[in-house]
Amino acid sequence: MRQLILLFVLLLAFSTGQATTSDATLQQQVQVTQEPTQPSALEFVTPDGRFDLESMRQSGFNGTLDLVGLDVQHDPVASEPLVRFLNEDAPKEHPDDIYWSPLGSGMGGAMPVVCALTAYDGKLIVGGGFSTAGGVPANSIASWDGSSWSSIGGLGGSVAWPVLACAVYEDRLIVGGSFWSAGGVETNSIASWDGNNWFPLGSGMGDEPTIPAPAVQTLTVYDGKLIAGGDFTTAGGLVTDYIASWDGNSWSPLGSGMSSGVEALTLYDGKLIAGGYFTTAGGVVADYIASWNGSSWSPLGSGMNNSVRCLTVYNGKLIVGGAFTTAGGMVANYIVSWDGSSWFPLGSGMNYHVYDLTVYDGSLMAGGGFTIVGSVEANYVVAWTKGDTCCIPPSVGDLDQGGGDLGFNYDGADLSLLINGLFIDPLNGWDGICLDEADVDFSSERPVVDPLTVDGADLSELIDALFIAPTHYLKNCDGTDNW
């Protein structure tokens, strides 16, 4: 009401005391004062994120839309704007990273699951149990060129039954799974595609076609050879026991193989790493994980207490995921890292199995059946980012708290008190992130030289001296951060 009265007084003053002011100017001033509220773009956006131009025209609005809380991107498929909610800040280097985008209409069929991904001939290759891709008939395998789906081999020329693994070897696409033919050619669980036709790799896996076929679960390339792991016990007519190599002409076993199925393969530190359901490899005890150096199998420490489902390499360490809850005798809930000699946890792990791992944009990505990671809610997929190289760097500064004599020997309890005493004050230059994570409860004492004055370098040396046992470590201080 006060605004209306003020407006009336101003208009009256202008009309009586400002003869030089034109009626047109007064009308413009009134219009500016009464300008309508800027509408949100959401008023003209369809449920699938498209601008409804007809609705905008019918509204009669002519001006700038309010885009607060929204992000407008270009859809390369439809060649039109796409509006999304901006619920969180994306990295400025990759502003589209917070969004999932569908690939056409996706997969269909009685079992429309995706089990394997790779890149070949500039296209994304997808394998699984689906029967259509983007509405196109594609039995278990298809390619995506960035805008549309295509079957591989044409209608009736794809594989039968699920594709579980994909790789590229000698410029050919290799697919493995639980099928016995591809493009009408008998292949027995593994086949190659040269861009035009399907070919078998020898006689494939198994002695004869069975339903289901003995599955190839995982593929990789090591020492110039294609390595296949899975549920099969023969390859090319030879006994191979769950793992075999293909040199382009014939199959060969890797030692005496495993005692049970192989689920995952990768390369680490110049060796082939295999994980799965086995408890021996080459006749050697190797609980669920083992390494192959080209001639023999070896365990990785004391292994796990349950199966390994996936492997990758991240920041120089082997990352392992699966159904286990211990590794090397220590707690490691479904995910763990290996540095070549010892196992280390990644935080407190997950609350359920990890099924797949990869590295993207500097982060370790994990997918599985979990819903909680550490203390964070994370439904089925999560990223782990490497932090600083050490929680307590030598350059942390002078940490002398008055030079009090703490004794000539420190044990685990002393060190815990020392850490809490020195780092409880943020002014010491450390945020105390590891206070509650220190596992330093040793039963015996270890001497420390000159305990009267302790600075950052001294403390680092102290930690190096005490943490010589792989079962005693500073959690989250091995160069990693949290999920």
User: Quick one: pLDDT at residue 4?
Assistant: 32
Same domain assignment for residues 307 and 449: no
User: Quick one: pLDDT at residue 353?
Assistant: 96
Same domain assignment for residues 216 and 156: yes
Q: What's the mean per-residue pLDDT of the chain?
A: 73
Same domain assignment for residues 367 and 248: yes
Confidence class of residue 404 from pLDDT cuts 50, 70 and 90?
A: very low
Which has more confidence, 179 or 297? 297
Same domain assignment for residues 160 and 273: yes
User: Quick one: pLDDT at residue 255?
Assistant: 98
In a domain, 472, yes or no: no
Task: Please say whether the beta carbons of 384 and 483 come within 8 A.
Answer: yes
Please compute the mean of the pLDDT values over residues 154-169 and round it to a whole number. Answer: 78
Same domain assignment for residues 266 and 221: yes
Render the burial of 6-34: b for 16+ CB within 10 Å, e for the rest. Answer: eeeeeeeeeeeeeeeeeeeeeeeeeeeee
How does pLDDT run across 122-160, given as a tens digit for each residue?
Answer: 999 999 999 999 999 998 999 999 889 999 986 455 666
Same domain assignment for residues 277 and 346: yes
User: Quick one: pLDDT at residue 98?
Assistant: 53
Task: Please say whether the beta carbons of 204 and 187 come within 8 A.
Answer: yes
Task: Please say whether the beta carbons of 384 and 480 come within 8 A.
Answer: yes
Please compute the mean of the pLDDT values over residues 39-44 and round it to a whole number. Answer: 65
Same domain assignment for residues 127 and 165: yes
How does pLDDT run across 250-288, given as a tens digit for each residue?
Answer: 999 999 999 999 999 999 999 999 999 999 999 999 999
User: Quick one: pLDDT at residue 15?
Assistant: 39
Please compute the mean of the pLDDT values over residues 31-51 and round it to a whole number. Answer: 58
Residue 80 clears pLDDT 60, i.e. is over it: yes
Same domain assignment for residues 366 and 233: yes
Task: Please say whether the beta carbons of 234 and 220 come within 8 A.
Answer: no
In a domain, 473, yes or no: no
Q: Which of 184-198, 281-295, 375-389, 422-436 has the lowest mean pLDDT?
A: 422-436
* Domain final position from 68, 101, 134: 101
Which has more confidence, 208 or 85? 208
In a domain, 376, yes or no: yes
In a domain, 483, yes or no: no
* Domain final position from 385, 403, 435: 385
Q: Which of 50-59, 199-208, 416-425 has the lowest mean pLDDT?
A: 416-425
Same domain assignment for residues 190 and 299: yes
Same domain assignment for residues 266 and 220: yes
User: Quick one: pLDDT at residue 271?
Assistant: 98
- Rounded percentage of the chain residues whose pLDDT exceeds 70: 57
Tokens 């001497």 map to which residue? 447
How does pLDDT run across 94-122, given as a tens digit for each residue?
Answer: 555 555 677 888 899 888 889 999 999 99
Q: Which of 213-222, 225-234, 338-347 has the lowest mean pLDDT?
A: 338-347
Task: Please say whether the beta carbons of 167 and 144 come within 8 A.
Answer: no
In a domain, 330, yes or no: yes
Q: Which of 224-233, 295-304, 323-332, 393-402 has the lowest mean pLDDT?
A: 393-402
Confidence class of residue 26 from pLDDT cuts 50, 70 and 90?
A: very low
Task: Please say whether the beta carbons of 330 and 345 come within 8 A.
Answer: yes
User: Quick one: pLDDT at residue 20?
Assistant: 41
Confidence class of residue 378 from pLDDT cuts 50, 70 and 90?
A: confident
Same domain assignment for residues 430 and 367: no
Please compute the mean of the pLDDT values over residues 199-208 and round it to a whole number. Answer: 89
Confidence class of residue 34 from pLDDT cuts 50, 70 and 90?
A: very low
Task: Please say whether the beta carbons of 205 and 212 come within 8 A.
Answer: no
Residue 312 clears pLDDT 90, i.e. is over it: yes
Please compute the mean of the pLDDT values over residues 466-483 and round it to a whole number. Answer: 40
Residue 84 clears pLDDT 50, i.e. is over it: yes
Backbone angles phi, psi at 218, to 5 degrees: -155, 150
Residue 318 clears pLDDT 50, i.e. is over it: yes
User: Quick one: pLDDT at residue 426?
Assistant: 34
The one-letter amino acid at 259: S
Structural domains in the chain (count): 4
pTM: 0.67
Task: Please say whether the beta carbons of 288 and 277 come within 8 A.
Answer: yes
Top-ranked range on mean pLDDT: pick from 109-113, 352-356, 411-415: 352-356
Question: DSSP label at 334?
Answer: S
In a domain, 482, yes or no: no
Task: Please say whether the beta carbons of 152 and 138 come within 8 A.
Answer: yes
Same domain assignment for residues 133 and 152: yes
Decide: helix, strand or coil at residue 29.
Answer: helix
User: Quick one: pLDDT at residue 310?
Assistant: 97
Q: What is the extent of the structural domain holding 133?
A: 107-385
